[in-house]
Amino acid sequence: NGTQRAFYDDPSVLYVSLHRYDDGSFYPSGPFGSMESCGEGEGLGTSVNIPWPTSGMGDADYLYAFMRLVMPIAYEFAPELVIISAGFDAADGDTLGECHVSPAGYAHMTHMLSSLANGKLVVALEGGYNLNSISSSALAVAEILLGNSPPMISELTASEIATETVWQVSRVQSHYWTSIDPKQCEPKDTFEDDAVGIPDLLKAHRLDLMAKYGAYAVPFADDELMDAFKDQVLCSQNFYVQPRLVVFIHDYGSLRAELDGVTHVDLDLERSYMLTVPLKLDATHKLLEWAASQEFALIDVNVFPHKLKQV
């Protein structure tokens, strides 16, 4: 916090901090490390706080914050020199910080920062309360400074807490940095298995439309095909008796979506609508009416498969 206060109104210094915050109850306590503490006066926007609301944050969470917030802002600021306050309170094994950043995680963050300012990078050893964690983490950072590549990290997925925090910070910082787009940071919602997706709604709409023309769904003998394309191949009742056949192959159609605002991706349902295939809104209806008027047989094929469950 002392570093932040020293440059709080200085537009020539960009201050960025990732830290455990716990809604202001974690040391050193108070609101100064909150995401809303963004600087003042001419320095407004040059303080960037990414405050974790709980313990247990790890490599995936820190690297996610780096890629979504830290590095885009840093590139936009274009520093002439980067100084890392190398505190290892978040290192795995530190019982006070209670987070789980590995030496490899610190190496990757250092490697990303080394791409700034033509490689002009200063690392100042600061906090941390576990000597083993400090030594292994500091060694990993030093190896990056010596020009070594960071070690490989296994596949990582940021936690829900991290993605939500990064999104909230992005909504604050987007007022000051053009590189930060909250819509790109908004976490994906997770739904129960009984949630109905837009493709299923569009499929139900098409089934209802085709039923008006006497069409019915074609079953599949193969179970895998049935899972992937159930109710997506339809044919008219005169299929077996008419010599002329129209085969209509298409996708789900285009969804024209209007957003409620620029900071989130909620749809404005009153201004959103579906464009049926092909390009014109009434093209599907006209095709079906034409085929029916000529008494042609019709096969309607939706080529987009269902989203199958992971096994």
Strands (E), 3-66: 15-20, 47-52
Angle between helices 283-293 and 198-211 (to 10 degrees): 30
Confidence (pLDDT) at 188:
75
Give the single-character DSSP code of 80: S
- DSSP β-bridge partners for residue 51: 19
Query: Helix, strand or coil for residue 230?
Result: coil
pTM of the predicted model as reported, rounded to 2 decimal places? 0.66
Residue ranges matching CATH 3.40.800.20 in the chain: 1-184
Cα four-point dihedral sign 15, 264, 277, 209: positive
Q: Residue 204: what pLDDT?
A: 77
Rounded to an integer, what is the distance from CA 306 to the centroid of its chain?
23
10-residue averages of pLDDT along the chain (311 residues): 92 97 90 95 98 97 98 98 96 95 98 97 93 97 96 91 96 96 83 64 76 82 82 86 89 66 61 53 73 89 66 41
99 burial via Cβ count (<10 Å: 0-12, 13-18, 19+): buried
Q: What is the pLDDT of residue 75?
A: 98
CATH code for residues 1-184: 3.40.800.20
Cβ count near 39 (within 10 Å): 21
